[in-house]
Amino acid sequence: MDRFSLRPARVLVLALLTVAMLVPSSPTTAQEGGRLEVGAAKISIEPRPDDYGGTWEIEGCATLGDDALASLDHVPDFRLSWNENSNCIYMGGYGIGPMNPITSWDDEYGLWVRTIVMSNGAEMVALSVIDGAYYLGDLNNMCDSCGGFELAATLADTHDGLAPEGFIIQATHSHTSPDFIGAWGGVPGWYFEQVEDAVLDSVAQAVESMRPAEIEFGEVLARPFNRERRNWYRSAESETVSWLRAHDSATDEVIATLGNYAGHPTSMDESTGIAHADWVGAFEKRLEERFGGVGLLFNSGLGNMSFAGSLDGGVGLANVIPEPGASPRFEAATISATRDQWTQPVTNTVLTGLGVGGFFDRPIEVGAFSSTVQKGDESRPCASASPLGIATQVSAFHVGPLVFTGGPGELFSNITNTFREKSPGAVTFPLAIANDGLGYIIQSFEFDLPAQQGVGFAGLDIVEYEDAYAIDQCFGDEVVERTLALMAAMEVDPAPAAPDGGAGSGGGSKPTPVTGGGLAILVLAVASLFAMGRSKR
């Protein structure tokens, strides 16, 4: 036999290799860590005063604004310094003080606490989102144990594998949802007790429902659904929706679908008195209609972004999430969670007066607090100092190739864009108003100092409104640098390949990797050329 001819054994080896490459690979290929389990739950927060020995009043509530009573017909309970009716539930977000009471409840979309938990058998993380204007890490008088930091500690004591840093609760920021910080009149004590139970129970139910799962994920360009809201100092826009969908490994049934997008929920009319989840509720309901399971929306860099539309926009945004089967999946993962806590100086004189005066229910520390933060040794730092400070935190965790970050207020989208760009993950979910709600978070390079010191409240086009609700000009820089440091220490799992014919980023702009069938075709082509070349010699 000619020594250059292709031997039968070689033909057999190449044929077997080609067949092996044609067999679809398991989602666990190139994955590390334990087998994933995922659970999800949602619990309504519609008021149930009879269950908590309380009273919900819907008349005689407005004590400020055009509809305010000429004289009070109640005695305030002094949890807050407003002259609110403490049996009323107030909306948060519009105006200031007890102006917009909730008098009825939207039944079509409802208001909820929604939770997804993800575990690999050793570590667990939990994400909860509540239909509320804000949610604070700690409170003075409105509630003893329902702040975000306290809930994290309680849940860590209750559920194996869940550390305090592995829990995030976000408020949707709907301006027709309850005020959980007291700046607009707050909510009754019994109602906060109900809400605390709802958060704890939603996590417990999600943990109880956990089952082996695969997580499908991606990132989709969705620029038409939001718009810039700043008057003068323009920030970057946030134009993508990050998403994940958890499927039961045995049946492929959808357990939950989570979206992460930036847009203020301010499309509903507060004057109706109807509590409403705004476009967020429409988005979540549409996810449940399309895929089943629990739908969740976590707001991203909404500080400078308004939502472009109303309920129809929420439906439209949910419709851009790809159908199952076209995007990467994984079913085993390493999980880690971390956080960074510090005390930020408060240099906003108006907010300081409201906080110290008890007009919003956040503890403020007295001492000597300073912030000096910079990028690199040669840049000019942002520096601030104050005898007053607020203890807060940033969070970061990863599940397989996915990275989640949590910022303690209304992050501007240049901040969340930076997190996406610098993230070690395949897809990143930057969450705003996470475990705390300390106003707008703006980096120093675009900060409007005159607006911060009260001028922004005047509504003039030459200054910025958002800066009037920012606690300090260096707060945004602190959040950025501390979060980047947390992400830099992560060791995330490699990204799985997309299915043949699928989009590597779920419809986003990232290139689709060569996978499965493509590699098999490549091997087959090489083998054919090899055989032809040998036979001719």
Which DSSP category does 310 fall into? S
pLDDT band at 502 (very low <50, low <70, confident <90, very high): low
Residue 478 has pLDDT above 80, yes or no: yes
CB contact at 8 A, 241 and 277: no
Q: Write the pLDDT tens digit of every residue in 99-134.
A: 899 999 999 999 999 999 999 999 999 999 999 999
In this prediction, residue 530 carries a pLDDT of 34
CB contact at 8 A, 116 and 206: yes
pLDDT band at 466 (very low <50, low <70, confident <90, very high): confident
CB contact at 8 A, 128 and 426: no
Note the pTM of the prediction, 2 decimals: 0.86
Q: Percentage of the chain surpassing pLDDT 70?
A: 81
CB contact at 8 A, 28 and 234: no
In this prediction, residue 143 carries a pLDDT of 92
Give the chain's mean pLDDT.
85
Beta strands in 222-293 (DSSP E): 226-228, 240-248, 254-261, 274-275
Per-residue buried b or exposed e for 145-177, using 16+ beta carbons within 10 Å of the residue's own CB: ebbbbbbbebbbeebebbbbbbbbbbbbbbbbb
pLDDT band at 485 (very low <50, low <70, confident <90, very high): very high
CA distances in angstroms from 90 to 120, 186, 359, 448, listed in the order given: 40, 6, 14, 30
Q: Write the pLDDT tens digit of every residue in 210-246.
A: 999 999 999 999 999 999 887 766 678 899 999 999 9
Strands 305-307 and 254-261, bridge-based pairing: unpaired
Task: Please tell me the number of Cα atoms within 13 Å of 250 on its side-chain side.
Answer: 5
In this prediction, residue 531 carries a pLDDT of 38
In this prediction, residue 1 carries a pLDDT of 39
Residue 2 has pLDDT above 90, yes or no: no
Residue 378 has pLDDT above 80, yes or no: no
Residue 249 has pLDDT above 50, yes or no: yes
Q: Which residue has the higher pLDDT, 32 or 526?
A: 32
In this prediction, residue 91 carries a pLDDT of 96
pLDDT band at 173 (very low <50, low <70, confident <90, very high): very high
Strands 112-119 and 124-130, bridge-based pairing: antiparallel
Residue 165 phi, psi (nearest 5) = -75, -10
Q: Percentage of the chain surpassing pLDDT 90?
A: 70
In this prediction, residue 509 carries a pLDDT of 36
